[in-house]
Amino acid sequence: MIGKLRTPSPALVIACIALFVSLSGTALATGVVPTAKRALYANNAGKLQGKTARQVAAIPGPATSLDGLGAEDIASMEGPANTAAALVFTNTVPFALAPSEEKDFSAGCGPGAKALSGGFSSPNLVAAEDTRPTADGNGWTVYLVNISPTASATGSMQVTCLR
């Protein structure tokens, strides 16, 4: 008994078409990608005028102005800092306040350095009313107030600097 063949459903037809397209797409890609790599290699080889990477690296660079310095002079110059810690340092100065006294105290960084921040420390009752860089940016100023009406206050003021 031979049964009657039914026509395939639309979903089966679409699934078969998708299967054939996906299989042919990978076959097409395996043929196209190596061709694209060959074309890129040929384009780069044309830019290098047939020279190898070693030959290109051996070509001397353009002459530049080095203020008359030779290779030995340049090699003996101090290089950049190896770490950020070599660029940042702290300077500390003491302060003293009479009872109920208030005034500015400053700490400097020294020539060629810039202040990043500042502050103070004291075992006494001292408050900071204002903290700011100095006008030239080479130090830090803190306006300190001795809160005690009977005891003097001492401490240290710090500035963190960048070389």
List the pLDDT tens digit at each of the 163 positions of the chain: 566 778 888 888 888 888 877 777 655 555 555 555 555 555 555 666 667 777 777 776 655 556 667 667 777 777 666 667 778 888 889 989 999 888 888 888 888 888 888 888 888 888 888 888 888 888 888 899 988 888 888 889 998 888 8
Instruction: Report pLDDT for 25.
Output: 64
Instruction: Report pLDDT for 2.
Output: 65
97: number of Cβ within 10 Å? 23
Instruction: Report pLDDT for 45.
Output: 58
Instruction: Report pLDDT for 52.
Output: 72
Q: Measured on CA atoms in the order 6, 10, 15, 16, is the torsion positive or negative?
A: positive
Residue 137 has phi, psi (to 5 degrees) of: 80, 5
Instruction: Report pLDDT for 31.
Output: 56
Instruction: Report pLDDT for 27.
Output: 55
Share of the chain above pLDDT 90, in %: 1
Question: Six-digit token pair at 154?
Answer: 């001492």
Q: Measure the CA–CA gap between 50 and 42, rounded to whole angstroms.
A: 10
